[in-house]
Amino acid sequence: MLGCLYVHCRSETTSQDKGLRKVTRPPAPSPRSCASRLCSVLAEKERRVKANDREHNDRFPYADNRIKTSKYNAFTFLPVNLFEQFQRVANAYFVILLILQLIPEISSLSWFTTIVPLGLVLAITAVKDATDDYFRHRSDQQVNNRQSQVLIRGSVQNEKWMNVRVGDIIKLENNQFVAADLLLLCSSEPYGLCYVETADLDGETNLKVRQAPNVTSDLGDVSRLTDFDGEVICEPPNNKLDKFTGTLHWRDNEYSLDNEKMLLRGCVLRNTEWCFGMVIFAGLQTKLMQNCGKTKFKRTSLDKLMNTLVLWIFAFLVCMGVILAIGNSIWESWIGRRFEVFLPWGESRSSAVLSGFLTFWSYVIILNTVVPISLYVSVEVLRLSHSLFINWDQKMFCGRTDTPAEARTTTLNEELGQVEFIFSDKTGTLTQNIMAFSKCSIDGQTYGDIYDEFDQRVEITEKTACVDFSFNPLCDRGFKFHDSSLVEATKREDPAVQEFFRLLALCHTVMPEEKSEGDLVYQAQSPDEGALVTAARNFGFVFRARTPETVTLWEMGRAVTYQLLAILDFNNVRKRMSVIVKNPEGHIKLYCKGADTLIFDRLDPSCSRLMNETSEHLSEFAGEGLRTLALACKDIDEEYYEAWAERLRCGSTAIEDREEQLAVLYEEIEQGMKLLGATAIEDKLQEGVPETIARLNLADIKIWVLTGDKLETAMNIGYSCNMLRDDMNEVFVVSGQTRLEVQQQLRSAKEHIVGLSRVSSPGDIEKSDAFADDSVFEEAIIAEYALVINGHSLAHALEPQLEHILLDLACLCKTVICCRVTPLQKAQVVELVRRHRGAVTLAVGDGANDVSMIKTAHIGVGISGQEGMQAVLASDYSFAQFRCLQRLLLVHGRWSYFRMCNFLGYFFYKNFAFTLVHFWYGFFCGFSAQTVYDQWFITLFNIVYTSLPVLAMGLFDQTLSKSYRTSVTRTVCATRACTNRASRTFSSTSAGSSCAPCRG
Amino acid sequence: MGRAKDKSGPLARRPDNSAFKQQRLPAWSPMLTANTVLPFFYLMALICMLLGVWLLLTVQSTREVKLDYTEHGACERCFQMRKNVSFAGEPCTCEVNFSIGKQFKGDVFFYYGLKNFHQNLRRYMDSRDDGQTVGRKNKLKNPSGYCEPFARDSNGVPIAPCGAVANSMFNDTFTLTYHQSSRSIPVPLLRTGLTWYTDKNIKYRNPAVDNLTLAQAFEGTVRPLYWQKAVYELDPDDPNNNGFINDDLIIWMREAAFPNFKKLYGILNRNDNVKFAKGLPSGNYTINITYNFPVQPFRGRKEVVLTTLTWFGGQNHFLPVAYLVTSSLLFLTAVVLTVVWWKFGKKGKNMQLTFQ
C-alpha cells in the first residue's frame, strides 16, 4: 500500500516542491494518535453529527480538522528517535557491546571503536528521520493553515482548516481542495449537482458527479443553511473510499445517504461555482487520512536469507568466542601459569576458567566486525539505486502516454529475477483496452461484416471504406464502422434496431460534456461503455445531457427526454447494469446490458429462439477475440414499479445489509426480459506482446492468463499472442459444471500427459501430497500442452480436494488460461501457486478487478492504462506497456539479483577475512584477545575503508552485457538454479577467508 | 528523481538519456574460456616462480649465525643459578664460542632472541603507561592503573617505568671478541641509533630535567621490581641514551607480535677498526654474556643472532617459499586444466551453452 499512501500524502503536499513527495515517507501513526484513534473506534459504533451545533457535537470525541502526520517535535525527537532506532537488533547489539567495553576486565578495544560506527549509523538515520519529519511538519502546517469558508453564526467567515469542526457547514468554491469529508448539501448547479476530481484519492482523472440529497439541494442561501439542523447518523470513520452508509434525520424524516453524496477530503471541486457541505469526518478521521499509515511489507527471499545469515553469523561469533575461551583456559593453565612471574593473574582472574570466561567476552568485542552493522544501510542504498535505475530506464518509457516505469517499492528488485509464474490479466494488459465497437447482433441478424459480390466475407483492413455518418451532425469523427447495412436499418427506422441503440444510449453511467454546441465529449469510467455510447451516438441516438432525474437523447435528430427512475448499477458479482426509465409517452421500461450468461438466465421464455440465434452469434464474435455483451429490455407495469420503488426506498435507507437487500430487489425486477441483441467490441493487442511472451517462455517463466472474458475470446487472444499454438500437442478445455465433471476432465487431461500409472486412484486424493516430487518428471515432458479452464469449473477445481490435481495439471502445461474468473478467483489461483509451489509469483494487471491478485502475488505489477489507477496504486511496479515486463524481469530483475548476491558475498567475505585474523592470532598470543590492527583501523574498516568498493560492485556490476542478455534469455534459468547462491558464497567465503590470513 | 523537471511537452517525463542512468557506463566483463584462462594460469605460474626464485636468491645471499646459549656449555651453570630467585642479585657470566667460515660482508646486525616469551598477551601489552614514558611529570608519580600490579612497590612508591613490559626487560649483556691468531680483538658494536626516529624523539622522552640531573628528575620513583639498576642508570655515560630514551628500553618496549622473536642489540661499528671495515672477517669469535635473564620458568630459550641484511630484511624464507609453492600449484592446475580441455573441451561447446 506504500504507493497508495504516497498518493494520499501527496494530496496534502500538492502545492509543495515535487521533490518532497518521494522523500516524505507515509507517516506511521504515532503511538499516541494510534491509541486515541483506537479508543474512538472502540467507542464509536455510529457517528451522530448535528449540523450547526458545536455544543452537541463536542460531547463526542470526534477529531477536529487538524492533521498531524509528523512523528516528533523538538523535545521528543531525540528520545523517541533513539528509542525507535534501538529497537533494531543490530543497533541494540552494538549498545550491549559498548557496555561490555566499559568493563575494564573485558575491554579489549577502546569504547570509541564501537561508538564511532554506531554513532555514525545512528546519526545518518536520525538526520534522515529529522528531515523527513521537518518536511512533514511543514506540509502539515501548510495544510492546517489553508483557508476555508465556514458558516458561523449566520455568516460565512474565513477560518483555518485546522479550526473546522465536525458539524460545521463550509462553503467550497471552484478548484478548491475539499477540507474534510463533507456531506454535500447544495451547490450552484441545478439539482444540487457538483463535480469533483478524485485524482489524489484514487488516481482517476475523469470527473465524478456528486449530488446533494433532494431535501437539502434548495438550501441555497446562507440564512436557510444557518437554520439547517439536520442530524446525520452514519458509520464510524473507516478507510473505504468508495463506501458510505448513513441517514440524514431532518424535520422528522429520514433520508438515506451514500457515497454519491459525499465530498471526500483530497478531492478538488471542478466545474461548479460553489457548494456547501457539512463536515462529517474531520482531520485524522477522514477517509484520506485513514488510508495513510498502513504499510504492507513484502519481503524478498533474499531478505530472509540475509536475516538467517546474520543469525548464523551471531552463532558463528559465539562459537569462535567459545573456542577461544576454552583455548584461553587451557593456555593459562598450561603456559600462562608459568608466565606469572612476568604477568601475575591478579585478583580478577584467580583461575584459568575465570580467565577463559572473561576472554570470551573480550573476543565477542574484538570479533564484532563479523556482524555487519553497515549491512542494512548498504542494502537499503543498493535497493534504492536499483529502483532508480528502473525509473530511469528509457526502454521502459512509454512515449505515447508519457509514462516512465516506476518502482513503487524498493525492496523487491532482486525478487524480480526469481519470478517463475506470471499471472496476467488480459484486458488492458495484453490488449490495449482501447475499445472499438466492431459488430453487433440485432434481432437475430448480425452487422459488422462486409461481403463481396460472391458472399465471401472481406477482411477488414485500413483501406476498407468506412460508413459515412455525415447525415448525423453530432457524430464522432473518430468512429469507424464498415458495414453500411446497419446505417440503412437505422434509417429505415427498424424498431428493433432503434430499441437496440436507445438502450446503448440510455443504459450507462457516462457523463457528457458539451464544450460548445455539438462538440460532445464523453467521460466514461470504462472504455467499453464509452465505445457503446459512441456507437449509439453515431447511429443517430445521441446521448446529449444527463441530470439526476433525466436523460436527454437526440433520437434521429429530435430531442427526447427520458425520466430516469432508477439505476441498478454494475458490480463484479452482478456483471450487468440496468436503468429504469419513463419515456415521454409515460411507459416505464427497464433496459439491461450485461454478461450474456447472466442475461440469458433472466430472459422471458418467449424469446428462446432468438436467444439461440444470438448465442450462436455471440460465440462467433468471441471466437474472433471480441468482447461481447448481451442487451435486453422489459416493459414494466406502473403499479408494479411503484410497489417495487417503495421497497427500494426502504432498502436503501437501511444501514445494515443495505447491499444485500438491494441486490435481492434488483434481482427481482430484472426477470423476464426480452432479448434485443448483442454487441461485440474489439480490443487490440498491445505492441510487442507475442514477442515478450515468447521470450519469457524461453526463460522458463510460466504465464497464466486470468481474464473475465469468455472462453472463446480468451482462447482467441491466446492464439494471437502466441500462448496457444496450432502445433501444440493438446489444448485441454475444462468447462465442467459440476465437481464430478471437473474432476473427470482434470483427471483425464493429466492421464493424457503423464500416462495412467502416475495418476493416483480416486481413493487417495487426500494423500496426493506426494505430488511434491512431481517436479522431477515435469522436466521430462517435452510435449507442449495448454489448459483452458472456465470460471465455473475453476470454482470447483479450487476446492481443497481438487486443487492439487489442478495445480499439478496446470504446471505440466506450457500455457494456462482461466476465463470468466472473478477478482477473488484470480487471487485464489495466485495464492494456490504461491502456497504449494513455493515459487515466486508475479501478477500483472490494470484494472480494479486485478487489485486482489496484485496484492496476493509476491510482486504486483500495475499497467497504467485506460482503467484508472487502482491497480497501479496497489502495485509494486508500474509501467504503461506489457512488453516492459520483459525488461523488468530479464534485465533489471536479473541484474538486481546478481548484484545483491555478489554484494552479500563480497560483504561477508571482507568482514570474515578481516575478523578471522584475530581468531587465528589468538593461537599465537595465548588467546588473550590481543588485536592485530590499530583500533582506528578496526573502527573505520567497515564504514569507511571498505564501504565504497562493495557498494560500487552492488551498483554497477553487469553479469552479462545487455545485448547478450536479451538474446539468450535462457540464462535466467541458470540464475534461478543458483537460488542459494548467496548462502553458498557465504559458506565458501567463510571457509576461504579462514585460510587466507594465516601467515605466520 | 524527485526534482521538478523544467521540461515540458509530450515527453516531459522521459528519463534522461545519460550513460549513467541508462547503465551504459563502460564496463568490461571477462569471458572465461580455455583460450584466456589457460595462458593466464601458465603466465601466473611463471611470474610467481620468477618472483620466488629472485626472493630466494636474495634471502640466500644474507649470512646468519644463530646461537642458542640458554644452556650452552658454560652457560649451563648460569642457567641453573637463575632457576633460583634467591641468587638473582649475584652476577653470572659465561662465554660462547663460534666461528665464521666466510666473511660477513657489509653491515652486520647483532640480535638477541627469545623463544616462548609472550610479549603479545593483551594484559601484558596493556600493562604500560605511555604518558609516563613520554615524560609527563604528573604521570611519573602517578602511573596509570593499567600498570597494576607493577605500578607501585610495596611501600606505595611509584615505579618508573611502570608496568609488566618494562618490568620484564631483557637484561643480559654481550661483548663480542674476535680471535685472530691468539690475539683477541674486541668487536666494536654501535649500541645507539638502533631505534626508530619517532620512538626516540617523540614517543619516549625523559621528564623535564631543566638544570637537575636525571637522577633528581626521577626522584620519588623506584626502579621496576626486577631491575638491577634504576632507569636513570641505564647508560650513565651518554645522556642521550639514558632514562626513558635508552635504546635498549625503547626496543624492549616495542612489543613483539609473536612469542618467538629477536630484538636488535647492536650494529657492527665498521669505522672503529680497519679489521671490520668490510664487515666481520672469517675466523673464531667469542661472545661474553652477562647472564641475568631467567627463562627457565616459562621454558623459554635465549639466543644471539648475527646477520647481514638485504633490502628484503634478514634470512626469512617464508615469502620465497610461498611464491614457489603457489607457482607450482598454479602450474599443476594449469596442466590439469589443459588435459581436461584437450580431452573433453576442445571441440566441445561454449561455456554459456552448457546452461541449455
Instruction: Please state the ipTM of this predicted complex.
Output: 0.88
3-state helix, strand, coil in chain A (%, to 5): 50, 20, 30
What pLDDT does residue B318 have? 92
Task: Find, in chain B, the residue whose alpha carbon is nearest to that of A344.
Answer: B149
Residue type, A490: T
What is the C-alpha separation between A97 and A112, in angstroms, rounded?
Answer: 11
Task: Find, in chain B, the residue whose alpha carbon is nearest to that of A401.
Answer: B10
Cell of B13: 517525463
Task: Find, in chain A, the residue whose alpha carbon is nearest to that of B224.
Answer: A342
Q: Is B262 a residue whose pLDDT tops 90?
A: yes
Cross-chain residue pair B10–A399, CB shorter than 8 Å? yes
Q: Is B267 a residue whose pLDDT tops 90?
A: yes
Cross-chain residue pair A346–B167, CB shorter than 8 Å? no
Confidence grade of residue B288 (pLDDT, cut at 50, 70, 90): very high
Task: Find, in chain B, the residue whose alpha carbon is nearest to that of A402.
Answer: B11
What is the C-alpha separation between A842 and A822, in angstroms, rounded?
Answer: 18
Cross-chain residue pair B14–A394, CB shorter than 8 Å? yes
Nearest CB among B12, B164, B299 relative to A343 is that of: B164
| Cβ atoms A436, A682 nearer than 8 A | yes
DSSP conformation letters of B12-73: TTPPP--TTTTT-S--------HHHHHHHHHHHHHHHHHHHHHHHHHHHTS-EEEEE-SS-T
Q: Are strands A702-706 and A419-424 parallel, antiparallel or unpaired?
A: parallel
Residues of B in contact with A106 (CB under 8 A): none
What pLDDT does residue B327 have? 96
Residues of B in contact with A962 (CB under 8 A): 23
Nearest CB among B13, B21, B318 relative to A402 is that of: B13
Which of B5, B123, B124, B323 would best serve as a mutation to test chain A binding (most A beta carbons within 10 A)?
A: B123
What is the C-alpha separation between A385 and A392, in angstroms, rounded?
Answer: 10
Identify which of A359, A460, A520 has the alpha carbon closest to the alpha carbon of residue A680. A460
What is the C-alpha separation between A251 and A255, in angstroms, rounded?
Answer: 11
Counting DSSP H helices and E strands in chain A, the numbers are 36, 33
Residues of B in contact with A335 (CB under 8 A): 116, 118, 298
* The residue to which cell 595465548 is assigned: A926
pLDDT per residue as tens digits for the range B71-98: 888 888 889 888 887 887 788 899 899 9
| Cβ atoms A614, A678 nearer than 8 A | yes
What pLDDT does residue A296 have? 53
Residues of B in contact with A343 (CB under 8 A): 121, 123-124, 127, 164
How far is the CA of B227 from the CAs of A403, B81, B220, B230, in angstroms? Answer: 84, 17, 17, 7
Cell of A274: 460553489
What pLDDT does residue A234 have? 86
| Cβ atoms A265, A287 nearer than 8 A | yes
Cross-chain residue pair A342–B298, CB shorter than 8 Å? yes
What is the C-alpha separation between A844 and A871, in angstroms, rounded?
Answer: 9
How far is the CA of A284 from the CAs of A239, A293, A877, in angstroms? Answer: 11, 11, 29
Q: Are strands B279-280 and B104-105 parallel, antiparallel or unpaired?
A: antiparallel
**Cα distance from A88 to chain B (closest Cα, Å)?**
29
* The residue to which cell 607493577 is assigned: B150
What is the C-alpha separation between A198 and A219, in angstroms, rounded?
Answer: 26
Cross-chain residue pair B120–A924, CB shorter than 8 Å? yes
Specify the DSSP element, H or E, that contains A379: helix A375-392
Burial category of B263 from C-beta neighbours within 10 Å (exposed 0-12, middle 13-18, buried 19 and up): middle
Measure CA A637 to chain center.
45
Highest mean pLDDT, choosing among A711-715, B118-122, B209-213: B118-122
Q: Are strands A431-442 and A730-734 parallel, antiparallel or unpaired?
A: unpaired
Task: Give the phi and the psi of residue A421 in degrees, each rounded to 5.
Answer: -125, 135
What is the C-alpha separation between A569 and A508, in angstroms, rounded?
Answer: 9
What pLDDT does residue B346 have? 62
For residues A160-186, one letter each, b for 16 or more C-beta atoms within 10 angstroms of the residue's C-beta and e for the rest, the string is bbbebbbbbbbbbeeebbbbbbbbbbb
Identify which of A422, A404, A965, A469 has the alpha carbon closest to the alpha carbon of residue A697. A422
Measure CA B56 to chain center.
20
Cross-chain residue pair A402–B23, CB shorter than 8 Å? no
* The residue to which cell 638502533 is assigned: B194
Cross-chain residue pair B1–A388, CB shorter than 8 Å? yes
What pLDDT does residue B140 have? 87
As a whole number of angstroms, the longest Cα–Cα distance in chain A is: 122
Angle made by CA atoms A609, A611, A616, in degrees to the nearest 5: 105
Cell of A314: 551471531
Question: Could you tell me which residues come within 8 angstroms of residue A939 by beta carbon, excluding any fewer than 6 positions away?
Answer: A112, A113, A116, A117
Question: Could you tell me which residues come within 8 angstroms of residue A461 by beta carbon, excluding any fewer than 6 positions away?
Answer: none
Burial category of A260 from C-beta neighbours within 10 Å (exposed 0-12, middle 13-18, buried 19 and up): middle
DSSP conformation letters of A617-635: HHHHHHHTT-EEEEEEEEE
Q: Which pTM does this prediction carry?
A: 0.73
| Cβ atoms B129, B207 nearer than 8 A | no
In this structure, chain B runs to a length of 356
In this structure, chain A runs to a length of 1000
What is the C-alpha separation between B94 and B71, in angstroms, rounded?
Answer: 10
Task: Give the phi and the psi of residue A553 in degrees, each rounded to 5.
Answer: -110, 160
pLDDT per residue as tens digits for the range B226-259: 888 898 888 888 888 988 999 999 999 999 999 9
| Cβ atoms B312, B59 nearer than 8 A | yes
What pLDDT does residue A37 have? 44
Cross-chain residue pair B23–A19, CB shorter than 8 Å? no
| Cβ atoms A156, A221 nearer than 8 A | no
| Cβ pairs A/B, distance under 8 A | 123
What is the C-alpha separation between B24 and A811, in angstroms, rounded?
Answer: 38
Residues of A involved in catalysis: 425
Residue B15: asked if its preceding bond is cis (omega within 30°), the reply is no
Residues of B in contact with A958 (CB under 8 A): 23, 27, 29
Cross-chain residue pair B15–A388, CB shorter than 8 Å? no
Spans of chain A below 50 pLDDT: 1-41, 293-295, 756-780, 965-1000
Task: Find, in chain B, the residue whose alpha carbon is nearest to that of A969.
Answer: B356
Alpha helices in A243-351 (DSSP H): 287-290, 301-334
What pLDDT does residue A43 have? 57
Strand order in the sheet with A840-845: A406-407, A877-879, A859-863, A840-845, A419-424, A702-706, A815-819, A785-790, A730-734
What pLDDT does residue B69 have? 92
